[in-house]
Amino acid sequence: MQRLPFFLPMVRCPRRCVYCDQGEITGIGRIPSPEDVARALSSLDGPREVCYFGGSFTCLPPDRRTAYLSAVLNAPKGSTVRFSTHPECITGQVLSELAPYPVSMVELGISSLDDSVLAVCNRGYTGRLVLDTMALVLARKFALCAQMMIGLPGQTEESSREDLRRMAAMKGAAPMTLRIYPCLVLENTPLARSHASGSYSPLSVDEAVLWAGRLLHEARHLGFAVQRIGLQESESLARSVIAGPHHPAFGELAAAEALVWSLLERNPEGPWSVDGTLVSQLTGHGKYGIRRLAERSGLTVRAVEERLVFTSAGGAKGAAALP
């Protein structure tokens, strides 16, 4: 189903996180009212997944939250609603109030489960609270997405991989979705001041791609569906980033890194059979995936290319035709 996002940048966020400026990330100035949303939805020609992003939706006062949810009922039949929110603003009472509406997914901005990282980032909660909140959402049968970050102050790759393992143990066999975002240094944020003083050093693009790729690979092993890696590119975001792993194709590079991990896990020296739909992950961006496969396997780029076999949609195999 096609998504229709409405951005409520930093609306009702309990506190200012050190890295955050949702206005610059989204490029949105005026915040749409419930009436604006209702008018926009009433003219649609088919169902949509209506999305409220950028703020902490369930932290809104109950009457305002209800107004935004009720606005969705103006959309064509079959439409649903998803939203992003803060872990502190999910309770059993809130979930009961959501139950009458066609909620397709609850997205929790968790950033990390590491208490020391959460404290430095001014998130205001503990990893234990997040896990308890996730368990509550799943117990009420709502679809759940966790928005993770990498490269936060004080965070290590092992810390974020441990976050994955803790979430996997919490969810058991229940389905769960992830978004993975790199920490960027944006203008006019506390993190920008830390960067200027030298107390915070962001990841490079290469470091962040390796971290995100490994995290994606492990997430898939643990049974998570990964919905997105990297922020949605926009002119506003590009203008406001002053440091950090900003790259318009960050998600594609991370996916290529994860594919390399998967191929080497299957066979350290090849040959490698690859679904034809994944060709671009190996050949794109200057053959990034092929070059990483060569580095990791100890083979030459030509040797790697000779050991790749792409599988067509019908299951037939053929030698790689690489640009």
User: What is the overall mean pLDDT for the chain?
Assistant: 92
Q: State which residues form the domain around 135.
A: 3-247
Give the domain-ending residue among 215, 247, 279.
Answer: 247
Q: Provide the residue type at 25 as one letter.
A: I
Q: 259 in a domain, yes or no?
A: no
Beta-bridge mates of residue 52: 6, 83
Report the alpha-carbon distance of residue 301 to residue 273 in Å, rounded: 16
Q: 254 in a domain, yes or no?
A: no
Q: Tell me, what CATH number does 22's domain have? A: 3.20.20.70
Contact present, 179 and 146 (Cβ < 8 Å):
yes
| 200 & 311 share domain | no
The pLDDT score that the predictor gives to residue 29 is: 61
Structure pTM? 0.91
Residuewise pLDDT in 10s, the chain (323 residues): 999 999 998 787 877 789 987 555 544 567 899 999 999 999 999 999 999 998 899 999 999 999 999 999 999 999 999 999 999 999 999 999 999 999 999 999 999 999 999 999 999 999 999 999 999 999 999 999 999 999 999 999 999 999 999 999 999 999 999 999 999 999 989 999 999 999 999 999 999 999 999 999 999 999 999 999 998 887 888 888 999 999 999 999 999 999 999 999 999 999 999 999 999 999 999 999 999 999 999 999 999 999 999 987 544 444 444 43
Nearest CA among 164, 240, 242, 246 for reference residue 208:
246
Give the domain-ending residue among 217, 247, 277.
Answer: 247
- Rg of the chain (C-alpha set): 21
| 160 & 299 share domain | no
CA distances for 154 relative to 14, 150, 213, angstroms = 22, 10, 20
Give the domain-ending residue among 218, 247, 276.
Answer: 247
264-284 pLDDT tens trace: 999 999 999 999 999 999 999
Which tokens sit at 110?
């968790």
| 295 & 230 share domain | no
The structural domain count of the chain equals 2
Report the alpha-carbon distance of residue 145 to residue 32 in Å, rounded: 24
